[in-house]
Structure 1
Amino acid sequence: MELRHLRYFCVVAEELNFTCAAERLHMSQPPLSRQIKQLEQEVGAELFERGSRGLRLTQPGIFFQQRAIEILEKVNVTIDSTRHMARSKRSLFGIGFVPSIFYGQIPMLVRDLRQIDNIEISLAELTTVQQVHALKSGRIDIGFGRLRIDDPDIEQELLFNEPLIAAVPSGHPLEGSSPTCADLANYSLILFPAKPRPSFADMVLGIFRRQGLKANVLQEANEVQTALSLVASGIGITLVPEEVKRVQRDGISYIPLADKTITSPVLCSRRRHEKPSALMREATTILNKLVDDRLKGRYP
């Protein structure tokens, strides 16, 4: 099996039409059909259902497509990174993060890493699920998120549990109080991110559900900053991680919750079974110091 077979397959899987796929690949249709048939024989499974209504991926085909995309992405990233390193003579270190985490320790990690000679930092705003794919493809080396992922190729470390607080419009009836979830359920709630799911939004919904409450969801936003803008507009309230209160916005008040056990995990994701590079060891040392400072109340 060669890389070109994977590329052929992915194009056909996208088009679900041999003629259209052949046009994209600048080749004729019969050789493409033969290549795919040979690929299926080598894999030992039918990847496409061929019917009167055209092509459709089988379940093995769907699985194979996901893995083929990861392989091709990893190859492309490896080539691009190698070219970049050859030009710049610097080591590239990729960091993925969810937006709600980029208010506390992570910017300081980036700052300290940038002080190391011959290192270039690449930042990517990604959901936790997207970080898993980016880690596998080699696009990033470490990821920071809030969602627990069960994947044999990825290991996650709990850095700390971050308290959640409520962001409410200035002058809101809850301002100055420490509301319970029952109190919050009486008001219109703004969730984020709207997609992709599962995400922090589902974590928030789970908090209400576990207490036998139904959240009054009025609006969903894709980013925490958009959610805060909606709060400032008086549309509703939202729950945010504690570090978000560093964002000073006119028209918003941040208030603690009555239940201090309502928290969100801050998780660090890495590739499993990979020997840490010197750069990864340096990043881990810096990160451990930052987390220790936070846990001991020594905020920067």
Structure 2
Amino acid sequence: MEFRHLKYFVVLAEELHFGRAAKRLAISQPPLSLNIQQLESSLGASLFERNSKSVKLTPAGVAFREVALRLLAEAAEGEERVRQIAKGAGSRVRVGIVGSMLFRGLPERLKAFQKLHPRVEVVLSEGNSSEQVDALLRGQVDLAFVHTERIPRELSRSIYVSEPFLCCLPSSHRQATADSVDLRKLSAEPLVMFSRSASPDYYERVLSLCEEQGFQPAVRHEVRHWLSVVSLVSKEMGIALVPQALSRAGISGVRFLPIGPSKHRSEVFLVWNDRQMPEILPLLMKVLTDEDEGNY
């Protein structure tokens, strides 16, 4: 018994007329009759009572119709499942993020991807850059966003975003209403920093930026999350140099001002392991990096 036999049987069971069933199947009557005979032979039972005037189902045919319909439905479902898997449906992608990605358009990009591939499960996990690199090496995530350039050779990377640093000041600060700030005039201000242990690259980059401006900063507070940095500034605990993305965090009580030209920028890298890539990952990366998706 083949699925072809099931399809021919179901159509004939619905039409109860060989001519109409053959026309619907886009075949001639002899092949239809032959396939029904083959099906009956394989089952060892007559499925139709037929004469020159009518065709009707036998009791065995009535019972088999339910079986045939179920088998055909399961086959169609299986075919669709295979097609969807080939397109990435039903896949799972684990993405490691640093917290600032929430303000760099990542949620909007992921929504766009989920609209295109609604059955793909995207799982986010937050950690600092070194934790994300380790997770990639251990196969715990499939893709990661990191701030560090120190990527092991076995991993691949591409620049995802490069943006300037801004000076984050309390709204009550005397310079808060200016269009930009001269960092040298703020050199004595207590500086709130992203923790050296959490991201040594960011820590060194901010120190280098200050040195570029001609002063050594007075580092007062170190925290492990950028939102904590901005929150401390809003509480008048100091000032901070933060990536431009943080200006979209929506925290009240602060102002973000340009600091003038600098060679030091906040960079985010997209990192993955070519040897451990889910089939859907290239499609996700395309949405994440497609400039036509808009700037967030």
* TM-score for both structures, normalised by structure 2: 0.64
Distance 1:184 1:94 in 2: 42
How far residue 140 of structure 1 moved from its aligned partner, in angstroms, is 0.8
Q: Deviation digits for residues 216-260 of structure 1, max 9, x if unmatched?
A: 111111111111121111110111111111122221111111225
Conserved 8 A contact 1:127-1:199 = no
Distance 1:293 1:209 in 2: 38
Conserved 8 A contact 1:180-1:259 = no
Distance 1:182 1:101 in 2: 30
How far residue 113 of structure 1 moved from its aligned partner, in angstroms, is 2.8
**In structure 2, what is the equivalent of residue 4 of structure 1?**
none
**In structure 1, what is the equivalent of residue 21 of structure 2?**
none
**In structure 2, what is the equivalent of residue 224 of structure 1?**
226
Distance 1:244 1:91 in 2: 32
SS of 1:209's equivalent in the other structure is helix
How far residue 210 of structure 1 moved from its aligned partner, in angstroms, is 4.1
Cα RMSD of the aligned pairs, angstroms, is: 2.3
Q: What number of residue pairs does the alignment pair up?
A: 207
**In structure 1, what is the equivalent of residue 54 of structure 2?**
none
Distance 1:275 1:140 in 2: 10
Conserved 8 A contact 1:109-1:283 = no
Distance 2:234 2:292 in 1: 32
SS of 1:144's equivalent in the other structure is strand
**In structure 2, what is the equivalent of residue 157 of structure 1?**
158
How far residue 212 of structure 1 moved from its aligned partner, in angstroms, is 4.4
Conserved 8 A contact 1:193-1:224 = no
* TM-score for both structures, normalised by structure 1: 0.63
SS of 2:289's equivalent in the other structure is helix
Q: What amino acid sits opposite 1:128 in the alignment?
A: S
Distance 2:199 2:161 in 1: 23
**In structure 1, what is the equivalent of residue 144 of structure 2?**
143
Distance 2:292 2:118 in 1: 25
Name stretches of at least 5 consecutive residues in structure 1 with no aligned partner.
1-88
How far residue 214 of structure 1 moved from its aligned partner, in angstroms, is 0.6
**In structure 1, what is the equivalent of residue 211 of structure 2?**
209
Distance 2:142 2:277 in 1: 10
How far residue 276 of structure 1 moved from its aligned partner, in angstroms, is 4.7
Q: 1:139 to 1:202 in 2, by over 3 A?
A: same
Q: 1:140 to 1:203 in 2, by over 3 A?
A: same
**In structure 2, what is the equivalent of residue 15 of structure 1?**
none
Q: Deviation digits for residues 116-142 of structure 1, max 9, x if unmatched?
A: 133111111111111111111111111
- Please tell me whether residue 117 in structure 1 is matched to residue 118 in structure 2: yes
Aligned runs of 1:1-300 on 2, under 5 Å? 90-115=90-115, 116-175=117-176, 176-259=178-261, 261-271=263-273, 273-274=274-275, 276-289=277-290, 292=291, 298-300=294-296
Name stretches of at least 5 consecutive residues in structure 2 with no aligned partner.
1-88
